[in-house]
Amino acid sequence: MTCKNCLILELQFEILLSGHKNISMTDTIFNHFTRRNLIIKIKDNHLFINESGVREFLDFCKDYMDEENVFFRLENAEWRPIDDIQNIIDMQWIDEVIRKKSVISYSQPIVDINEEIYAYEVLSRFTREDGSLIYPNEVFTAARNRGRLYALDRICRMSAVKYSASLKKKTFINFIPTSIYSPEYCLKSTVQLTNQLGIDPTQFVFEVVESDKVDDIDHLKRILNYYNEKGFQYALDDVGEGYSTLDMLTDLKPHYMKLDIKYVQNVSMDRKKQEISKSFLKKALELGAIPLAEGIESREDFDWLKQNGYQLFQGYLFGKPSIIPQL
Domain residues of the chain, as ranges? 4-90, 93-314
Instruction: Return the pLDDT at 246.
Output: 59
Four-way CATH pick for 93-314: 1.10.10.10, 3.90.1640.10, 3.20.20.450, 3.90.950.10: 3.20.20.450
Instruction: Return the pLDDT at 38.
Output: 81
CA 252 to chain centre: 19
Q: What DSSP character marks residue 322?
A: B
Instruction: Return the pLDDT at 234.
Output: 92
In the chain, which stretches have pLDDT less than 50? 1, 212, 241-242
Measured torsion, CA atoms of residues 8, 122, 191, 2, in degrees rounded to the nearest 10: 0
Q: 3-state DSSP: the chain helix, strand, coil percent, rounded to 5?
A: 45, 25, 30
Q: Residues near 247 by Cβ (< 8 Å), separated by ≥ 6?
A: none
Q: Which of 198, 163, 157 is nearest to 179 (CA)?
A: 157
Instruction: Return the pLDDT at 179.
Output: 74
Burial 63-95 (b: 16+ CB within 10 A, else e): eebeeebbbbebeeeeeeebeebeebeebeebb
What are the DSSP calls for 213-237, one per residue? G-S-HHHHHHHHHHHHHTT-EEEEE
Measured torsion, CA atoms of residues 43, 144, 126, 180, in degrees rounded to the nearest 10: -100
Instruction: Return the pLDDT at 249.
Output: 75
CATH number corresponding to 4-90: 3.30.70
Q: Tell me, what amino acid is at 323?
A: I
Same CATH fold assignment for domains 4-90 and 93-314: no
Instruction: Return the pLDDT at 4.
Output: 57
Q: Cα separations (Å) of 19 from 60, 61, 68, 150, 285?
A: 16, 13, 10, 35, 59
Number of H helices, E strands in the chain: 13, 14
Please answer whether residues 23 and 43 qualify as being in contact, where contact means their C-beta atoms are separated by less than 8 angstroms.
no
Q: Residues near 156 by Cβ (< 8 Å), separated by ≥ 6?
A: 103, 124, 174, 175
pLDDT in tens, 278-292: 999 998 999 999 999
Instruction: Return the pLDDT at 247.
Output: 65
Q: What is the pTM of this model?
A: 0.85
Instruction: Return the pLDDT at 5.
Output: 60
